[in-house]
Structure 1
Amino acid sequence: MKIMKAKDIILTALLGSALLLGGGCAKKAVDAPGVNADGTPMTGGTDIDYPAAEGSPYSETSLGAEGTLDDTGIPVGNGARGNLSLNDEGGEKSREYKLEHGRSSVGLSPVYFSFDQAGIRPDMIDRMENNALFLKQTPDSNVVIEGNSDERGTKEYNLALGQRRAQNALEYLVNLGVENTRMRAISYGEEHPLFPEQDEFSYAQNRRVDFILE
Structure 2
Amino acid sequence: MKISCIKLLMIAALISILTGGCGKKPVEYGTTSESMKPEGYGLDSSAPPGDSFGGDTFSAGDLESLDSGGANPLAGDTMSEEYRAMYGRSTAPLFPVYFDFDSSAINVDQLDNLNSSGAHLLANKSMSIVVEGNCDARGTTDYNLALGELRAQNVKNYLVNLGVPQGRITTISYGSQRPLYPGNDEDSWAMNRRADLVVR
Are residues 1:122 and 2:108 paired? yes
Q: Equivalents in 2 of 1:166, 1:206: separation in Å? A: 13
Deviations 1:84-136 (Å, cap 9, x if unpaired)?
Answer: x566xxxxx11111001100001100110000000110100111111110000
Correspondence 1:40-79 to 2 at 5 A:
none
Q: Contact 2:130–2:169 at 8 Å: present in 1 too?
A: yes
Q: Which has the larger radius of gyration?
A: 1
Counterpart amino acid of residue 202 in structure 1: S
Of the three residues 81, 100, 115, the one matched with 1:95 is 81
Q: Equivalents in 2 of 1:101, 1:133: separation in Å? A: 16
Q: Equivalents in 2 of 1:106, 1:123: separation in Å? A: 19
- The aligned counterpart of 1:142 is 128
- The aligned counterpart of 2:197 is 211
Percent identical among aligned pairs is: 46
Please report how far the alpha carbon of residue 146 of structure 1 lies from its aligned counterpart in structure 2 after TM superposition. 0.2
Are residues 1:198 and 2:184 paired? yes
- The aligned counterpart of 1:105 is 91
The number of equivalent residue pairs is: 126
- The aligned counterpart of 1:44 is none
Q: Structure 1's 86 and 97: CA in aligned 2 closer, same or farther, altered over 3 A?
A: closer
Deviations 1:48-97 (Å, cap 9, x if unpaired)?
Answer: xxxxxxxxxxxxxxxxxxxxxxxxxxxxxxxxxxx9x566xxxxx11111
| Secondary structure of the corresponding residue to residue 104 of structure 2 | coil
| Secondary structure of the corresponding residue to residue 103 of structure 2 | coil
Counterpart amino acid of residue 133 in structure 1: A
Gaps of 5+ in 1: 1-82, 88-92
Are residues 1:156 and 2:142 paired? yes
Counterpart amino acid of residue 129 in structure 2: V
Structure possessing the higher relative contact order (Cα contacts under 8 Å, 6 or more residues apart): 2
| Secondary structure of the corresponding residue to residue 107 of structure 1 | coil
Q: Taking structure 2 as the reference length, what is the TM-score of the superposition?
A: 0.61
Q: Equivalents in 2 of 1:163, 1:125: separation in Å? A: 19
Q: Taking structure 1 as the reference length, what is the TM-score of the superposition?
A: 0.57
Q: Equivalents in 2 of 1:103, 1:116: separation in Å? A: 21
Give the 4+ runs in structure 1 shifted more than 4 A: none
